[in-house]
């Protein structure tokens, strides 16, 4: 089997491509069902949470684009992915945000007995995340936590640590693309059935960083909240207008191909 799971050869029938990056048309419930299947099946399955920053980074970084497109599951993370899908004539039912998917996986893990390993974030944050999750979802089993870093020289040690912990699910919080490239290189060796890059999710769950209020998230304004709270993000967010323009261009090319 491939390092990315059997779905690599049979991508979801209902996948869309936004600027050359695959996004699976799944809801939270469907994503969770797929993840349950991955754990049952065993072997490595990488989950990616595709947002506009990922897609724009993938335009310049072919290795990152390959990792995204070969993932066993690519969830639509964010309101602007939904906008893009609608604009391309393939509307999606709901966004599946990384942090909410982490919570839902933890809730399911408390019922099924899957063991979670939390890798990454600043020292202490993964431990605090574990405490919050086990309080919120009684019965949840945490196989281990470790901050470490995505530096190549740390990989062997980190892989050995996760392997010894015997986790079914591995969350990696090193930010994109480092976390997703890390998983593509190492997930198979960790023994975990599911590996997912989770960005700043631990920071939110541990309470180190506050999430945008629900009304802002529902209106697709999470980016504005993050920009106000974490202004150093402006450079990363500067890609968003370019994302909008590129999607509009993709949709006009697609419609001209349909007409002619
Ligand atoms: N991080 C890390 N080591 C690194 C780089 C990043 O542990 O070398 C962590 C950082 O502490 C944060 C997460 O990776 O918890 C990235 O969060 P960010 O908010 O940038 O990700 P996003 O949600 O925007 O993808």
Q: State the residue range of the domain holding 100.
A: 16-259
Closest listed residue to residue 93, CA positions, set 177, 24, 26: 26
For residue 112, is it within any domain?
yes
Query: Taking the CB of residue 204, how many other CB atoms lie within 10 A of it?
Result: 22
Calculate how far, in angstroms, residue 173's C-alpha sits from the geometric centre of ligand 1. 6
**C-beta 203 within 6 A of ligand 1:** yes
Question: What is d(CA 58, CA 61) in angstroms, rounded to the nearest whole number?
Answer: 5
* Dihedral sign for Cα atoms in the order 228, 233, 239, 240: negative
Structure confidence at residue 219 (pLDDT): 85
More confident call, 248 vs 234 = 248
Domain total of the chain: 1
Q: Which residue's CA is the nearest one to ligand 1's atom 10? A: 121
**C-beta 148 within 6 A of ligand 1:** no
Which two three-digit tokens encode residue 251?
């949709």
**C-beta 29 within 6 A of ligand 1:** no
Mean pLDDT of all residues belonging to the chain? 92
Query: At CB < 8 A and 24+ separation, what contacts does 63-67 make?
Result: 63/181, 64/176, 64/177, 64/180, 64/181, 65/20, 65/21, 67/177, 67/180, 67/181, 67/183, 67/184
Structure confidence at residue 85 (pLDDT): 97
For residue 113, is it within any domain?
yes
Select from 174, 205, 225 the residue to mutate for testing ligand 1; criterion: most ligand atoms less than 8 Å from CB. Answer: 174
Give per-residue pLDDT as tens, 82-106. 999 999 999 999 999 999 999 999 9
Torsion of CA 246, 247, 252, 255, to 10 degrees: 150
Calculate how far, in angstroms, residue 175's C-alpha sits from the geometric centre of ligand 1. 4
Question: What is d(CA 188, CA 5) in angstroms, rounded to the nearest whole number?
Answer: 10
**C-beta 176 within 6 A of ligand 1:** yes
Residue 107 burial by CB count (10 A; 0-12/13-18/19+): exposed, middle or buried?
middle
Calculate how far, in angstroms, residue 230's C-alpha sits from the geometric centre of ligand 1. 13
Q: Model-level pTM?
A: 0.92
For residue 3, is it within any domain?
no
**C-beta 149 within 6 A of ligand 1:** yes
Q: Which residue's CA is the nearest one to ligand 1's atom 4? A: 174
Instruction: Give the three-state DSSP class for 260.
Output: coil
Torsion of CA 172, 174, 175, 176, to 10 degrees: -70
For residue 207, is it within any domain?
yes
For residue 9, is it within any domain?
no
**C-beta 54 within 6 A of ligand 1:** no
Q: Which residue do the tokens 């020292």 mark?
A: 123
- Split at pLDDT 50, 70, 90, the class of 256 is low
Structure confidence at residue 260 (pLDDT): 39
For residue 4, is it within any domain?
no
For residue 242, is it within any domain?
yes
pLDDT of 12 above 80: no
Give per-residue pLDDT as tens, 131-160. 999 999 999 999 999 999 999 999 999 999
**C-beta 174 within 6 A of ligand 1:** yes
Calculate how far, in angstroms, residue 49's C-alpha sits from the geometric centre of ligand 1. 14
For residue 213, is it within any domain?
yes
Calculate how far, in angstroms, residue 14's C-alpha sits from the geometric centre of ligand 1. 30
């Amino acid at each position: 089997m491939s390092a990315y799971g059997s779905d690599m050869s049979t991508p979801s029938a209902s996948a869309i491509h936004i600027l050359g990056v695959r996004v699976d048309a799944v809801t939270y419930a469907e994503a969770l069902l797929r993840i349950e299947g991955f754990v049952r099946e065993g072997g490595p399955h990488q989950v990616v949470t595709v947002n506009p920053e990922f897609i724009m980074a993938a335009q310049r970084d072919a290795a990152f684009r390959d990792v995204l497109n070969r993932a066993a599951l690519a969830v639509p993370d964010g309101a602007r992915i939904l906008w893009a899908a609608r604009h391309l004539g393939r509307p999606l039912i709901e966004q599946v945000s990384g942090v909410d998917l982490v919570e839902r996986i933890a809730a399911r893990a408390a019922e099924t007995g899957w063991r979670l390993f939390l890798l990454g974030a600043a020292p202490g944050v993964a431990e605090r995340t574990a405490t919050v999750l086990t309080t919120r979802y009684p019965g949840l089993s945490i196989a281990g936590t470790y901050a470490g870093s995505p530096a190549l020289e740390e990989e062997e040690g980190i892989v050995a640590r996760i392997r010894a912990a015997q986790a079914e699910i591995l969350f990696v919080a090193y930010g994109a693309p480092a976390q997703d490239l890390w998983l593509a290189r190492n997930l198979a060796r960790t023994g975990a059935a599911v590996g997912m890059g989770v960005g700043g999710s631990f920071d939110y769950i541990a309470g180190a960083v506050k999430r945008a209020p629900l009304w802002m998230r529902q209106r697709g304004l999470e980016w504005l909240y993050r920009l106000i709270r974490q202004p150093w993000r402006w450079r990363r967010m500067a890609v968003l207008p370019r994302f909008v323009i590129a999607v509009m261009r993709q949709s006009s090319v697609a419609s001209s191909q349909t007409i002619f």
